[in-house]
Structure 1
Amino acid sequence: MTEAVTEPETVVVEPEEVPAGPGLHQPKRWLIAAGEAVAIVLLVIVAVWCWNRGVVRLEYPFEGREPLVSTRYHGNWLGTAVGAATLAAVLVLDAVRQVMLAVRTRPQKAADSDM
């Protein structure tokens, strides 16, 4: 008997088309970074103000001696200052990310030719 020779079927998988939507690289990210920069400045000002309210120096005068100086710390103000500074640090990281994504924008023709 003779065997029939069959060729294996080749399966061609075509890549799915990605819907055309907004990508990561958008020039409007400069506006977001600018808004975050304003928020960072405001948060740093709030943090410094809260820290100064949280540390109170007290002087108790004595007759014939130097006054006794003590420092009182208010935890609610110091905690708010730390929270504002932490939020400002997170916004700095995101602002750097936004700037990097805005700078690395490419024209649409160059982006299509890479594929």
Structure 2
Amino acid sequence: MTEAVTESDAEADVADEQPPAPPPAGPGLHQPKRGLIAAAEVVVVVALVFVAVWCWNRGIVHLAYPIEGREPLMSTRYHGNWLGTAVGAITLAVLLALDAVRQVVLALRTRPQKAADSDM
């Protein structure tokens, strides 16, 4: 009824099993299309800087109240929504600029095959 497993059968089973195949390699780090992505990010950074300057200028309003016989009373009014938008735009611009630098480095950096093989 039951069959005994011998050592030769166990060795045959182990010999038949092969290690799983490694997953297919994804794209390498060097991809020239990353340069186009970096260029697009630089354009967006420039646009965000212009938006930030425009919002900041709208967020600060200088007012003058004339008084007879004296210099006018000067006052400054700050609009938080415009100033907050300017700060947000600059923050996003800085993050995109950092990513653009990263994309350029990844687009340009190449390693010769001999150097890549010797590291392993």
TM-score range, shorter chain: 0.7 to 0.9
Moved over 2 A (4+): 105-115
User: What pairs with 1:1-115 in structure 2 (closer than 5 Å)?
Assistant: 17-106=22-111, 111=116, 115=120
Structure 1 gap ranges (5+): 1-13
**Whole-angstrom CA distance in 2 between matches of 1:108 and 1:20:** 16
Give the deviation of 1:84 after TM superposition: 0.2
Q: How high is the TM-score relative to the length of structure 2?
A: 0.74
Q: CA RMSD in A?
A: 2.4
Q: Which has a greater percent of helix?
A: 2
Structure 2 gap ranges (5+): 1-18
Give the deviation of 1:110 after TM superposition: 6.6
**Whole-angstrom CA distance in 1 between matches of 2:113 and 2:50:** 41
Give the deviation of 1:20 after TM superposition: 3.5
Percentage identity across paired residues of the two chains: 78
Give the deviation of 1:107 after TM superposition: 6.1
3-state secondary structure, aligned to 1:65: coil
Listed one character per residue, the Cα deviations across residues 30-68 of structure 1 (whole Å, up to 9, x for unaligned) are 000000000000000000000000000000011111101
3-state secondary structure, aligned to 2:30: coil
3-state secondary structure, aligned to 1:66: coil
Listed one character per residue, the Cα deviations across residues 59-115 of structure 1 (whole Å, up to 9, x for unaligned) are 001111110100000000000000000000000110110011111034668756765
Q: How many residues align?
A: 103
Contact 1:47-1:84 at 8 Å conserved across structures? yes
Contact 1:27-1:105 at 8 Å conserved across structures? no
Contact 1:58-1:69 at 8 Å conserved across structures? yes
Q: How high is the TM-score relative to the length of structure 1?
A: 0.77
**Whole-angstrom CA distance in 2 between matches of 1:108 and 1:75:** 55
Q: Which has a greater percent of strand?
A: 1
